[in-house]
Chains A and B, each alone.
Chain A
Amino acid sequence: MPTPTDLVTDLPADFEVFGQAVDTDFVDLLGGTTGQVLSKTSATDLDFTWVTAQVGDITGVTAGTGITGGGTSGTVTVTNDMATTITAAGDIVVGTGNGTYDNLPIGTTAQILTADTTVSPYKVKWASPAAAASGMTLITRQTFSAVTTTTTTFDGCFTSTYESYLVVAEKFFGSDANADIQFQLRYAGPATQATGYYGSTTEFGSAATFTDQSNANQFAMMLYTGTTNQPSPFNFYITMVGNGARNPGWNGGAMNGGINRPYFFGGSQLGAAREYTGLLFLAAAGTVSGTVAVYGLAKA
């Protein structure tokens, strides 16, 4: 090819050289089919390839409900808005209307998620569960070993919360197998009511043995205690305690593990009308051991 200052002496020949150079440089532009576009094959100048454009390329991203972000060009970011609505551990996302929602923070330990249409806008809330419906509530359960009496162990178990109580000795025995198992009522002071117990206890052996108790210093439930390996369980209901000055009454049964005889008993405290708030267990002689539970019976 002649330079701009060359004297052109053979124009046809020069054009032929020029044409051959153009043909060589732009050879990649030859070919292709309808709809194809040029794509760079490498970084070299004029290095192209005809390629077919991909059909259906995304030309825009629009954020719908629950999504934020989007766009029509460049790198597009979309974010799950429900996820970012959660800001702390335990949060839950609650619907607040048609296509709307909000963050409901966690409640406190042991609360449960409860439907409540009066709460706006969530209609649900964290709430403490209602006390399980039960007719009987454990007030206290105590274990004692080789004591002269249980003294203050069962003080305060009778209150105005309940009207009647169930006393259950899961296990009970004494050091002197031939001694009565007894109880006495307790009241504020604290003090022990040591007179005025009336009632009877019946032991069923080969024949029934009836034991009357009149103005006794305590109430005897059994005429013999059990032993370590043959304890004497008993239970009784007691009422008219823990709510004003009254004369309590009780009835129950027992099973002497030592001599294998059942007992039935009933009695009342007629010596003094008081607000009795507890009771103690003892034996006529020797120490007592066992586990006793007191339950309150629901009024409604």
Chain B
Amino acid sequence: MTTKTEMIEQLKAEYPTLKNGDDERGYQDLSAADYQATIEKWADAKLKREAAAEQAAIDKAALLAKLGMSQDDLKTLLS
């Protein structure tokens, strides 16, 4: 499980700078405070999504076990 600090470091490496704007008006780099706030917001969103995906996989495996079915059985059932 990735920690928030690790996720922030990953995002900062991927996005060393951030900007707003459009082709007509031009683009401006985010201030240091806005940059940090945006990276933290993105980190929270990505961690939340990762956690939801992991929980969904756990719930799905538990349900299949309860039903005595395999992943292949499930695919056959839904096909």
Q: A residues within 8 Å of B by Cβ?
A: 142-153, 175-176, 178-180, 206-207, 284-287
Q: Is the interface of A mostly helix, strand, loop or mixed?
A: loop
- Please provide the 7 A-B residue pairs with the shortest distance between their CB atoms, ordered closest to farther: A285-B42, A284-B45, A144-B22, A153-B22, A151-B20, A143-B23, A285-B45
Nearest-CB residue, chain A, relative to B41: A285
CB neighbours (8 Å) of A180 from chain B are 45
- Measured CA separation A53–B15 after assembly (Å): 106
- Measured CA separation A39–B75 after assembly (Å): 122
- Measured CA separation A145–B45 after assembly (Å): 21
Contact check, A151 vs B42: say whether CB atoms are below 8 A apart. no
Contact check, A148 vs B30: say whether CB atoms are below 8 A apart. yes
When A153-B25, A176-B46, A285-B42 are in contact, do A146 and B20 touch as well, CB less than 8 Å?
A: no
CB of A25 to closest CB in B, whole Å = 102
- Measured CA separation A117–B42 after assembly (Å): 68
25 A-B pairs within 8 Å (CB atoms) are namely A142-B22, A142-B23, A143-B22, A144-B21, A144-B23, A146-B19, A147-B21, A147-B22, A148-B18, A148-B19, A150-B22, A152-B25, A153-B21, A153-B22, A179-B46, A179-B49, A180-B45, A284-B42, A284-B46, A284-B49, A285-B41, A285-B43, A285-B49, A286-B15, A287-B15
CB neighbours (8 Å) of A284 from chain B are 42, 45-46, 49
CB under 8 Å from chain A, chain B span 3-55: 11, 15, 18-25, 27, 30, 38, 41-43, 45-46, 49
Per-position 1/0 for B42-78, Cβ under 8 A of A:
1101100100000000000000000000000000001
Interface size class of B (residues with CB under 8 A): 20 to 34
When A206-B78, A207-B78, A287-B15 are in contact, do A148 and B49 touch as well, CB less than 8 Å?
A: no
Contact check, A151 vs B78: say whether CB atoms are below 8 A apart. no
- Measured CA separation A103–B9 after assembly (Å): 78
CB neighbours (8 Å) of A175 from chain B are 15
Contact check, A151 vs B46: say whether CB atoms are below 8 A apart. no
CB neighbours (8 Å) of B38 from chain A are 148
CB neighbours (8 Å) of B78 from chain A are 206-207
- Measured CA separation A178–B20 after assembly (Å): 21
CB of B21 to closest CB in A, whole Å = 6
CB neighbours (8 Å) of A206 from chain B are 78
CB neighbours (8 Å) of A287 from chain B are 15, 18
